[in-house]
Amino acid sequence: MSRIFSGVQPTGNLHLGNYLGAIRNFVGLQKDYECIYCAVDMHAITVWQDPADLRSNTREVAAAYLAAGVDPKNSIIFAQSTVPAHAELAWIFNCVARLGWLNRMTQFKEKAGKNRENASLGLYAYPSLMAADILAYKATHVPVGEDQKQHLELTRDIAQKFNNDYGTDTFPIVEPLIFGEATRVMSLRDGSKKMSKSDPSDYSRITFTDDRDAIALKLRKARTDADPLPDNEKDLEDRPEAANLVGIYAALSEQTRQDVLKEYAGAQFSTFKPALTELAVDKFGPVGEEMKRLMDDPAHVDAILKDGAERASALAEPVMKEVKETVGFLAP
């Protein structure tokens, strides 16, 4: 059976974009793949995290996986830092990846911003750690949002160069699994920006902890334009806010945008927004409630993470043994 690896950063404010673009898609994969889902706390600290928040946010990612329907008996849920293979393999990959490759990473440029000299070395090496996450398990498929495609390309380049340099076929060449409608959920305040945990406006995102009233309020306040909904997807192209809301509706109802427009062509937002609110409360509300319930029982979540770490370590160990031998490290 092919193996899946994916990760979500425990940086707080988990939102609808994380759910529709990533976490929800993890659930269905469990029947066809062996799945490993990670809370990537080592990636999180590439930018400053308050330690108490990091602990809580790491549990929150695990709780979100569980609430969405990941089955911890079948799949592995764990925290990255509890399996040393990630750090070990990342170092080896730091010596395989080329500066030129990392210089092209758009996510680094975005996150480092204007003051690049002040970005952490870890932020720069982020993609190398991500390659290690995946390849420590020789995972073959990685479900991610559009924005992570470039990192997966780099993972493939690292695997290829490693295999080539050492004349082996140690690492598989991973395939991204990019999901359908609305994998890119945009800000409710600005349809040209991704929905983000770090947007200063709370109204830009619907989070896992929002209750019915909060969801309704945020959608009521969501930015739109003055026109009714068109009957054709093409006519949404230069209407980013309208396109975003239709996309969210489509993703939540598991239809295409075109299907949604078939039903709502000609409708004003005064009609469409309440319908979207109903749907969001119905489909996303219970997931958030379950996550909150799990967060009230941290010992339960920790036990699942511990079991996951043990199973993940058992999978990574033979890979690391093989890699270390290949590189020429002495056995301990």
> Binders of ligand TRP among 7-36, rule CB under 6 A?
7, 9
Q: DSSP alpha helices (H): ranges in the chain?
A: 16-18, 24-28, 41-44, 51-68, 85-94, 99-103, 106-112, 121-135, 149-166, 212-221, 240-253, 257-264, 269-283, 285-295, 298-327
Shortest Å distance, C-beta 228 to ligand TRP: 35
5 touches ligand TRP (CB under 6 A): yes
133 touches ligand TRP (CB under 6 A): yes
- Judge whether 111 counts as a catalytic residue: yes
144 touches ligand TRP (CB under 6 A): yes
- Asked if residue 222 lies in contact with residue 273, where contact means CB atoms within 8 angstroms, the answer is yes
d(CA 58, CA 76) in angstroms, rounded, equals 15
d(CA 252, CA 272) in angstroms, rounded, equals 14
295 touches ligand TRP (CB under 6 A): no
40 touches ligand TRP (CB under 6 A): yes
d(CA 122, CA 115) in angstroms, rounded, equals 15
210 touches ligand TRP (CB under 6 A): no
Comparing CB distances to ligand TRP, the nearer of 154 and 250 is 154
Helix-helix angle 285-295:269-283, to 10 degrees: 40
6 touches ligand TRP (CB under 6 A): yes
d(CA 329, CA 43) in angstroms, rounded, equals 26
- Judge whether 31 counts as a catalytic residue: no
Comparing CB distances to ligand TRP, the nearer of 131 and 261 is 131
Comparing CB distances to ligand TRP, the nearer of 86 and 218 is 86
- Asked if residue 123 lies in contact with residue 111, where contact means CB atoms within 8 angstroms, the answer is yes
Comparing CB distances to ligand TRP, the nearer of 193 and 262 is 193
Q: Which residues pair with 83 in a beta bridge?
A: none
Instruction: State the Cα angle at 45 between 5 and 12, rounded to 5°.
Output: 75
> Binders of ligand TRP among 147-186, rule CB under 6 A?
148, 151
Taking CB under 6 A as the binding criterion, the range among 54-62, 89-97, 129-137, 274-282 that sits at the site for ligand TRP is 129-137
Task: Give the total of residues touching ligand TRP (CB under 6 A).
Answer: 13
Could you list the active site residues?
A: 111, 194, 197
Please report, as ranges, the residues that interact with ligand TRP according to CB under 6 A. 5-7, 9, 40, 43, 130, 133-134, 142, 144, 148, 151
